[in-house]
Amino acid sequence: MKKIEKKFNEVWKEIAYKCSKQYKLVLGNNARFVAETIYKEFKNKQFFTYAECGVFTGTTFFPIYHLCKTLFQNFRLYALDSFSGFPKDITLNPNDEFENFEIMYENGSISEDHLIRARERCGKIPNKEHLQVDYFKDYAEEFYKRCEGKKEIQIVKTSFSDLDKNLETGSYNFDLVFLDCDLYLSYTECLDFFKDKTKLFVFDEYYSLKYPGPRLACNNFVEKYPEWVFFNKIEYSQYFERWGITK
């Protein structure tokens, strides 16, 4: 077992330096939240497993890879994505429309400040382009190249509706599953698929200013499976909320 003496901030600083040099990546607070959760919950584990649903070019995935290199003797990371943007059949779900922020405010599920910020953010996006099939495009090559020589990574090219066909898990359990896939159906499909294969989800979009669907999907899920409990971290310097669920 690796013995980690360093504090999280020190480890994260070294990873930020590596990622800036190797991939020209600037680390975001979303990656930091995933990393802090891994560090806090699992840093003394022998073998760690992680799945990220929606990797795009790897702004979160590669910092997590380097964190795992530092913390664990053995680990396995699964990169799950269509590698061609949102699948066609999932982008027209009414739960992803802006109006859901208004409805969630009216029923007390989000704050007035959240609604105002979402209104401002969505108002700047032309033609609802963040809901279009081609919002994420031409990233597969870059992601695959960044994975070269990293034997602990398994790339799974799949629509999340086909996870049961394309992700061979056997008796595998995932220590942490990170959902960063923006849309209501993508979240619902991943939650359903992984619910008996993990005890810990971290969400990128539970507090989103662009996508209301993930919050609805997570709330529906927890209502249906009350053994799952929310946890969060509030960032005050530039207000933001990070969320996950555990059981």
Ligand X SMILES: C[S@@+](CC[C@H](N)C(=O)[O-])C[C@H]1O[C@@H](n2cnc3c(N)ncnc32)[C@H](O)[C@@H]1O
Residues that bind ligand X (CB under 6 A): 52, 54-56, 59-60, 81-82, 85-87, 90, 136, 159-160, 180-183, 186
Q: Judge contact between 27 and 15, C-beta under 8 A.
A: yes
Residue 90 beta carbon to ligand X: minimum distance, rounded to whole angstroms: 5
Q: What are phi and psi of 37, to 5 degrees?
A: -65, -45
Pick the closest to residue 178 from 142, 214, 209 (CA basis).
Answer: 214
CB of 234 to ligand X, least distance (A): 20
Least Cβ distance, residue 89 to ligand X (angstroms) = 9
CA dihedral sign, ordered 142, 144, 149, 153 = positive
Smaller CB distance to ligand X: residue 175 or 204?
204
Q: How far apart are CA 180 and CA 40, in angstroms?
A: 21
Give the nearer residue to ligand X in terms of CB position, either 54 or 212.
Answer: 54
Specify the DSSP element, H or E, that contains 177.
Answer: strand 176-179
Which CB atom, from 36 or from 180, has the smaller least distance to ligand X? Answer: 180
At its nearest, how many Å lie between ligand X and the CB of residue 145? Answer: 15
- For residue 49, count other CB atoms closer than 10 A to its CB: 23
